[in-house]
Amino acid sequence: MVKTVGLIGAGAIGTVLAEAIEQKLVNCDELVVFDIETTKVEKLRALVKFPIKTASNIDELLATNPIVIVEAAGQGAVREYYPKLIASDAELIIMSTGALLDLQLTPKVHFPAGAIGGLDALLAAANAGINEVTLTSRKSPKVLFKSNTQETLIYEGFAEEAVKLFPKEMNVAATLALTVKPVKVQVRVISDPQITRNTHEIWVKWHYGEMQLKFANQPHPDNPHTSALAAWATIRLLQDLLKHKEISQTLF
C-alpha cells in the first residue's frame, strides 16, 4: 500500500514538511501538494529531490487517497475545504486552528501544539477544573504591521475575537481555547520593538494550583508570522499519525 501524505499550502511550513520527508524523518511514499499559488508549489518541487505530485484543486488531492492531509494554508482554506476534508478517509492535521473555533470537530481532526507546549498538562488540569487561562503574546511591530517604538498593548480580549483580528498570529490562542474549552482564554497581544523572538506566556489557574508556561521561539526565516516550532510540532504529529496507521494495518 502506497503511503501518501497530502499537503494544502506550499509556504514556509509546507517547505519544512517536505524537507523532513526528504530527510526520512517522516515515513511516507509520496507527497501531494495543492496551493492556489502554483508558483509556490513549483518553488517547493525545485527545492527538494523527493518526488512531489501536484494537485490543481482540492478534489485532485483527495483523489490520490492520502492517509493524512496537512493543512498549512490559512483559516480561509480550512473553512472552504472543511466539508470535503472531513468527508474523506484521511486523518486531518489542521494548523490554522483559528478556523476550528467555528466548526464542528470530529475524531479525525487533529491539531498540533504549534508554537507552544504543555497541552497535556492543560488537558489533565481541565479534568479537575480550570478557572482562568491568560495568554500574553509578544511580537515585533513589523510582524504586527505596527510602527511603535515602545512596548504597546494592542489588543486585550478573548481568543475567539483575537483569531479573527490576527489570523496569522493568534492560532496559538485558538489552540489553547480548543484545549481548555469551555473555559474562555483571555488574550493580550503586545507589540514590542525590543524582542527578536515570538514570545507566548500562558498563565493558568486551576483547581489544585497554578501553571506558568513561557515559550520564546525564533520566527521562521521565510515567514515571520510563524514560529519555527509550529512546523516541527506538525511534523511530530504527522509522525505519530502515520505510525498509528501502520500499527492499525498490521493488527487488522
Dist CA 54 CA 125 (whole Å): 43
Whether the CA torsion 119, 121, 127, 130 is positive or negative: it is: negative
User: Who contacts 248 (Cβ-Cβ below 8 Å, separation ≥6)?
Assistant: none
Tens digit of each residue's pLDDT, the chain (252 residues): 679 999 999 998 999 999 999 999 998 999 999 999 999 999 999 999 888 999 999 999 999 999 999 999 999 999 999 999 999 999 999 999 999 999 999 999 999 999 999 999 999 999 999 999 999 999 999 989 999 999 999 999 999 999 999 998 999 999 999 999 999 999 999 999 999 999 999 999 999 999 999 999 988 777 777 888 999 999 999 999 998 876 555 544
- Of 200, 207, 220, 244, the catalytic one is 200
pLDDT tens, position by position, 152-207: 999 999 999 999 999 989 999 999 999 999 999 999 999 999 999 999 999 999 99
Dist CA 127 CA 132 (whole Å): 14
Q: In the chain, where are the structural domains located?
A: 4-114+229-251, 119-217
pLDDT tens, position by position, 10-28: 998 999 999 999 999 998 9
CA angle 181, 186, 190 (to 5 degrees): 140
CATH of 119-217, one of 3.40.50.620, 3.40.1440.10, 3.30.360.10, 3.30.450.20: 3.30.360.10
Burial of 72 (0-12, 13-18, 19+ CB in 10 A): buried
The yes-or-no answer on residue 200 being catalytic is: yes
Dist CA 250 CA 242 (whole Å): 12
pTM of the model: 0.93
CATH architecture of 4-114+229-251: 3-Layer(aba) Sandwich (3.40)
> The sheet that has 185-191: what strands, in order across it?
152-158, 185-191, 130-139, 198-206, 209-217
